[in-house]
Amino acid sequence: MSLQTDKRNFSERTTEGLGDSFMRTAVGSAQDSLKTRRLSAATALGDWEQWRNVGQLIRQHTLQNLDYYLEQLADNVERQGGHIYFAATKEEASSYIRDVVVSKQAKKVVKSKSMVTEEIELNHVLIEAGCELIETDLGEYILQMDDWDPPSHIVAPALHKDRRQIRRVFSEKLGYTGDETPENLAGFARTVLRQKFLEAEVGITGCNFAIANLGAINLVTNEGNGDLTAAIPKTHIAVMGMERIVPTLEEMEVLDNLLCRSAVGQKLTSYITVLGPSAAGETDGPEEFHLVVVDNGRSDILGSEFNEALQCIRCGACLNVCPIYRHIGGHAYGSIYPGPIGAVITPLLGGYDDYKELPFASSLCGACTDVCPVKIPLHEQLIMHRQNIVGQRRTGAADRLQMKAASRLLSSPALFGRTLRIAHSASRLMSKQGRIVRGPALIHGWIHARDLKQPVKQQDSFRAWMEKRKGGSEQ
């Protein structure tokens, strides 16, 4: 999988999402539950706003000094005998990892959930190289078994599937014969995957945050698969977006608290681990440790008007409150990064050519900005994208014409007044029983789902009514 998960156009993708009533119910109830849990966990921490301020301060400080902290990280990883590789592009990153795996003559690779490895198309590259690669996060494993169905949520990747679909996948692909209770499905996956962990020669994980002054990485999970991936195989390769770094464990601790509470409403997830290459005398953990730091377009965001998007800690809280995500679902974004943060960073990483619609998939209600634990002004960044897209004349010619007409009309009081006077009769042909039913493309999105009343006659308008009652003479 790459950044792009679906080659169809935006309108086809959203139509499919809107028509999938199971998915919409699942996303709606997941949002409701995650929203409530986030809120109670945030409240329990006390002074959540101050925690957000500290989170924002840490992220901004680290980004402003990113070269310094990455260099410190590199020195400390190497001091412990680990390897660090800086990859400017996704190709560099995935080829380096392939070369490590090939040099180990490894065939069996286990992976724990990592969005950046999706971005660099690592699975594809390793499978091409002849590896048996297994995603071990339960949600990701379900998707892999379902012929690599794309994830639809940053934190809960298989949110769009129900237990019956999962049972069918397990039974068709793995010969599962049990029932569809989540406990039994998970228990079955545990047994299958336990064997994979024990056999694996290489383990690949993402990295929630690298810790610069320690030369280690931080993994935040609930299942424990990340820890097993970094404990049993003799080689561990961790992959990180270059911005995912903190100076010390003290900053990590603040961000982990914000992350766990924002993502799943837990105080801390079951497993929060700080790890690096195995130390002398320790008998498990990796004998060989590689950390791959990926740029892949991030440095172009750094120092740009979208700089704050790099503060993201991938908690998914903005997805859980977004009214648009609720209705169209994660797949409609066509990106491994869906929701409000996806609509901001996907066009930055993948370009406007493929993703110019995403910044418009927002009501600009600002709920995302309100919940963001590191205070990224998400809806303002969406507006900046829109300005760029319009400024670069990337919207359709018909759209531009209509917007130009609307702008003329709305910026001249005289013209606006004249238009109002004739609005009723002019809209007669577009209307049926007092409702507008056809018209320029600009209003299609609205009238498709809602009533748009035909403008009333000039003498019945509110302005005319006010005019008549001026001075309070008429009751």
Select the span of 216-224, 321-329, 336-344, 414-422 touching another protein (CB under 8 A): 216-224
Return the half-sphere exposure (C-beta side, CA atoms, 13 A cut-off) of residue 25: 5
Q: Which residue has the tokens 């709305």?
A: 410
25 is an interface residue for another protein by CB under 8 A:
no
Q: Which of 66, 420, 456, 464 binds another protein (CB under 8 A)?
A: 66
The answer to whether residues 131 and 101 touch, using CB atoms and an 8 Å cutoff, is yes
Q: Rounded to the nearest whole angstrom, what is the least distance from the CB of residue 369 to another protein in the complex?
A: 22
Name the residue nearer to another protein (CB basis): 13 or 90.
Answer: 90
Alpha-carbon span 415 to 422, nearest angstrom: 11
> Which is nearer to another protein, 30 or 341 (by Cβ)?
30
Alpha carbon distance 340, 376 (integer Å): 11
Q: Which of 252, 312, 324, 349 binds another protein (CB under 8 A)?
A: 252
Among candidates 173, 176, 238, which has minimal Cα distance to 203?
238
DSSP per-residue string spanning 10-34? HHHHHHHHHH-HHHHHHHHHHHHHH
Phi, psi (deg, nearest 5) at residue 193? -75, -30
Which of residues 234 and 421 has its CB atom nearest to another protein in the complex? 234
Q: Which residue has the tokens 């709920």?
A: 367
> What separation, in Å, do the N-terminal and C-terminal C-alpha atoms of the chain show?
69
Which residues lie closer than 8 Å to 47 by C-beta, 6 or more apart? none
**What is the rounded CA–CA span in Å between residue 10 and residue 119?**
20
Sole window of 62-70, 347-355, 423-431, 450-458 interacting with another protein (rule: CB under 8 A): 62-70
Q: How far is the CB of 123 from another protein (least distance, A)?
A: 18
Minimum Å gap between C-beta 96 and another protein is 8
Q: Which is nearer to another protein, 88 or 436 (CB)?
A: 88
Q: Which pair of structure tokens corresponds to residue 109?
A: 């690779």
Total number of residues binding another protein (CB under 8 A)? Answer: 111
Binding mask 441-470 for another protein (x = CB under 8 A): ------------------------------
Determine the 3-state secondary structure of 375 from DSSP: coil
**106 by DSSP, 3-state: which?**
coil
- In the list 254, 365, 390, 442, the residue contacting another protein (rule: CB under 8 A) is 254
- Which of the residues 139 through 198 are near another protein (CB under 8 A)? 139, 142, 156-159, 162-163, 166, 182-183, 185-187, 189-190, 193-194, 197-198
Task: Rank residues 313 and 358 by Cβ distance to another protein and give the closer one.
Answer: 313
- The residues near 287 (Cβ < 8 Å, ≥ 6 apart) are 234, 235, 277, 278
Q: Site for another protein (CB under 8 A): which residue of 11, 36, 68, 400? A: 68
Please select the residue that binds another protein; options are 117, 123, 136, 320, rule is CB under 8 A.
136
303 counts as binding another protein under rule CB under 8 A: yes
- 279 binding another protein? (CB under 8 A): yes
Pairing of strands 271-275, 235-241: unpaired
**Binding to another protein by residue 11, rule CB under 8 A?**
no
Q: Residue 12 or residue 99: which is nearer to another protein going by CB?
A: 99
